[in-house]
Amino acid sequence: MLRVAVLISGAGSNLQALLEATADPAFPAQVVVVGADRQAAGLAHADHFGIPSFVVPWRGAAEREAWGEQLQQQLERWQPDLVVLSGLMKLLPAAVVEAWSPRIVNTHPAYLPEFPGAHGVRDALAAGAARTGASVIVVDSGVDSGPILAQERVPVLPEDDEHTLHERIKPVERRLLIDVVRRIAVGELDLTAASAP
Ligand code: GRF
């Protein structure tokens, strides 16, 4: 059974979808802990599903390394086989990425390498894109630059604003994320091979 740690910063709708999927005993993975950089609303999903959680409060970029060390201590306690960033709105310190990559994946609401970074949805709208997408990637030392494990196009509608477009992207993200976790759990997806130079 693949042990998964999920890190969030926000509402955790992708986390909720993963918790619902892993609640099925036939699903080959389990979420063992949920972590956040703040008292994120999404932590309520962990409570609802009886999953332990922790918060390592972000105290500014000047303390990124210390924050990363505390995060690493928490993750090591739970010995996950896979770390999933699902709406964690912080760049992980290099030491944390190096400790976990390639067993650390991220969901992104754009068709990478298009529109990387913290505002992928907003950037797609600003660019006048007719379509964008959702991606699941391996986290590497860059910003949304790791190997792509899954991605799918999502149309942009003329009347879209950032919220309506993001809400159309998220269900696609959730489906891709759950399928990637399942494929990793059953050995269909080899993260080391996916990350090979
Ligand atoms: C997701 O679209 C994720 O890819 C992005 O932020 C959003 C988080 O949404 N980084 P939620 O917190 O899972 O609802």
CB-based contacts of 163, cutoff 8 Å, min separation 6: none
Q: Characterize the bridge pairing of strands 148-155 and 131-138.
A: antiparallel
Cis peptide upstream of residue 25 (ω within 30 degrees of 0): no
Determine the pLDDT at residue 158: 96
Ligand 1 nearest-atom number relative to CA 15:
13
130: number of Cβ within 10 Å: 10
Which top CATH class is 2-189?
A: alpha beta
Domain locations in the chain? 2-189
Determine the pLDDT at residue 197: 78
Mutate to test the pocket of ligand 1, among 6, 8, 13 (most ligand atoms within 8 A of CB): 13
Encode 150-184: b = buried (16+ Cβ within 10 Å), e = exposed.
bbeebebeeebeeeebbebbbebbbebbbbbbbeb
Determine the pLDDT at residue 163: 98
User: What's the rounded Cα separation, in Å, for the pair 191 and 138?
Assistant: 8
Determine the pLDDT at residue 82: 98
pTM over 0.85: yes
Ligand 1 nearest-atom number relative to CA 118:
10
Determine the pLDDT at residue 167: 97
Mutate to test the pocket of ligand 1, among 34, 86, 119 (most ligand atoms within 8 A of CB): 86
User: What's the rounded Cα separation, in Å, for the pair 183 and 35?
Assistant: 23
Show pLDDT as tens, one digit a residue, over the chain (197 residues).
999 999 999 999 999 999 999 999 999 999 999 999 999 999 999 999 999 999 999 999 999 999 999 999 999 999 999 999 999 999 999 999 999 999 999 999 999 999 999 999 999 999 999 999 999 999 999 999 999 999 999 999 999 999 999 999 999 999 999 999 999 999 999 999 888 87
CB-based contacts of 24, cutoff 8 Å, min separation 6: none
- Output DSSP code: residue 39: -
Determine the pLDDT at residue 195: 84
